Amino acid sequence: MSELFSSTLTEIAQSVQSQKRSAVEVTQATLERISALNPEINAYLYVDREGALAAAAAVDRALQDNPGQSFPLAGVPIGIKDNLCTRGVRTTCASKILEGYIPPYDAHVVQQLRAAGAVLVGKLNLDEFAMGSSNENSAFGVVRNPWDRARTPGGSSGGAAAATALGLGFATLGSDTGGSVRQPASYCGVTAIKPTYGRVSRFGLIAFASSLDQVGPLTRNMRDGARLLSVIAGPDPRDATSAVVPVADYEAECGRDVRGLRVGVVKNITEGCQPAVAAAFQTAVEQLSKRLGCEIVEVELPHQRYALSVYYIVANAEASSNLARFDGMRYGLRVTGEELQNTYRKSRAAGFGAEVKRRIMLGTYVLSAGYYDALYLKAQKVRTLIRDDYAKAFAHCDVLLTPTAPSPAFKLGEIADPLAMYMQDIFTLPPSLAGIPAVSVPCGVSPEGLPLGLQLCAPHFEETRLVRLGHAYETVSGFKSLASAS
């Protein structure tokens, strides 16, 4: 079992494609591992044993019938964050308001995975409606960090990051609105890609903030992530914001030379970070410069400090509007009152958790009469300044480097203040607001043995640079992933 689970996604796909291993055998072993280990960390909310085995058998049959047919994800067991719709398989957003909801259709990315030969093993825990940075906002229990079970896996894709780290599937799909694949990847020692806004269709991703949401892969290395990105990227007529821009061969970037690549670093970027984060970041900069031959250049992002305020105005405004659809009429929880309005209010009161209510309230407030100009419109203007900062910075560098999070994973229950929790996302929010692609790659461990992450950002649609540099960095970082170590 351990040999199988130290294999990478691309190795599994290759072995199933060439019929050295069967998809059913890989899937069975993965389901057994999930049964054994998931109860300790609560990463999966639902395991679709039957569906997974049927999908695996179908891949094996297709390959027996026609070995020439190529499946980039042949027989690869993959977990899906539970805010992505899966036809006939429960999808809850970790919210009581959607408890028991069974979508009649697949998200675009789910269709893409199936067509590529992947085996969907189950649905992954998250902060309710992807709102949170610790996975403590799930209505169905916290997820525990596989590196230290007293700690958070991060959020909102906490289940996805924890499952990936522990080898409960060879990859997972998460979603990222302000850092929700990158920050948990950092906390759990895995790799995550937040694509350019529009790079991946949002069709079937249950909306949180529509101008920010993107689906992204979480994997144990950059090559696996590149493979997955190639499968899910590209235009989709069902999402008018998905961009008609050619999809590159991301995997081909792995192994390409990064000598002379200009890497931008903001002066004093680690001020306010925990010392271990600052030290690991400094080491990474030196490795990029001395071992990989990158040119380090200093850049400025003067408006980055306003990102948190801008984000929590814009994202919550959009969320308050998006979540209006949960009213107990067509799907989800209904608590019947005396009349219609009252039924809405009671259903939403019973169905939403505290953080979701807080964000709906804040979003409704900033859009309400008298505050729209002062808060919402103002935030959208400062957002322009944040975008412009990147445009200026990328005139001097090819890739921008920051830590992914200001600290390693904190203890469950440690942060109670909402604003302090939001601070966990200070590095991941600005790229989201600008719509630029960003990845988090593991960059060492803290003195207490917790993984840390490095964030790489590039201009719109330049994911190739992130894969190239991320992969090159992986070869010198010396980081050992949890599943391959155990």
Partner 1 sequence: MGSSRISIADVKHVAKLAALQLSDAEEARMEAELNTILAHMDELSEVDVSSVTPTLHSVVAAGALRPDVVLPSLSREELLQAAPAREADGFAVPKVLDGDG
Catalytic residue among 180, 347, 477, 481: 180
The verdict on 248 binding partner 1 (CB under 8 A) reads no
x/- mask, partner 1, residues 82-101, rule CB under 8 A, reads: -------------------x
The verdict on 252 binding partner 1 (CB under 8 A) reads no
x/- mask, partner 1, residues 410-449, rule CB under 8 A, reads: -------xxx-------------xxx--------------
Which of 309, 446, 464, 484 touches partner 1 by CB under 8 A? 309
Q: Take residue 29 and report the two structure tokens written for it.
A: 């072993």
Q: Please, which residues have CB within 8 angstroms of residue 156's CB and are 6 or more apart in sequence?
A: 126, 127, 130, 131, 132, 133, 135, 137, 174, 175, 177, 180, 184
For partner 1, give the closer residue by CB, 419 or 485. Answer: 419
- Produce one character per residue of 39-63: b if its CB has 16 or more CB atoms within 10 Å, e if not: eebbbbbbbbeebbbebbeebbeeb
Which of 36, 340, 395, 476 touches partner 1 by CB under 8 A? 340
Question: Would you call 180 a catalytic residue per the annotation?
Answer: yes
* Phi, psi for 136 (deg, rounded to 5): -80, -10
Pairing of strands 438-445, 451-457: antiparallel
Output the smallest distance, CB 90 to partner 1, in A. 11
Query: Is residue 250 within 8 Å of residue 230, measured between CB atoms?
Result: yes
- Residue count at the site for partner 1 (CB under 8 A)? 84
**What CA–CA distance (Å, rounded) separates 430 from 371?**
23
Strand partners, 112: none
Piece of the chain touching partner 1 by CB under 8 A; list 115-123, 154-162, 367-375, 391-399:
367-375
For partner 1, give the closer residue by CB, 85 or 173. Answer: 85
Q: Take residue 303 and report the two structure tokens written for it.
A: 């408006």
Q: How crowded is residue 308: how many other Cβ atoms within 10 Å of its Cβ?
A: 17
The verdict on 25 binding partner 1 (CB under 8 A) reads no
| Positions in 451-470 near partner 1 (CB under 8 A) | 460-461
Task: Please tell me whether residue 91 adopts helix, strand or coil conformation.
Answer: coil
Strand partners, 266: 299
The verdict on 36 binding partner 1 (CB under 8 A) reads no
DSSP letter assigned to residue 372: I
x/- mask, partner 1, residues 105-144, rule CB under 8 A, reads: x---------------------------------------
**Helix 49-65 with 23-41: angle, nearest 10 deg:** 160
Piece of the chain touching partner 1 by CB under 8 A; list 103-111, 134-142, 151-159, 219-227:
103-111
For partner 1, give the closer residue by CB, 282 or 336. Answer: 336
Which of 11, 25, 357, 446 touches partner 1 by CB under 8 A? 357
Q: Which amino acid is present at 236?
A: D
Piece of the chain touching partner 1 by CB under 8 A; list 179-187, 196-204, 397-405, 471-479:
196-204
Piece of the chain touching partner 1 by CB under 8 A; list 158-166, 270-278, 338-346, 442-450:
338-346
Query: Is residue 9 within 8 Å of residue 171, measured between CB atoms?
Result: yes
What number of CA atoms fall less than 13 Å from residue 143's CA on the CB side?
A: 38
Which of 26, 59, 163, 243 touches partner 1 by CB under 8 A? 243
> Residues 419, 425, 427, 432: what is their CA dihedral angle, to the nearest 10 degrees?
-110
For partner 1, give the closer residue by CB, 72 or 435. Answer: 435
Q: How crowded is residue 66: how many other Cβ atoms within 10 Å of its Cβ?
A: 9
Pairing of strands 214-219, 191-194: antiparallel
Catalytic residue among 81, 138, 201, 230: 81
Output the smallest distance, CB 47 to partner 1, in A. 22
Which amino acids are annotated catalytic? 81, 156, 180
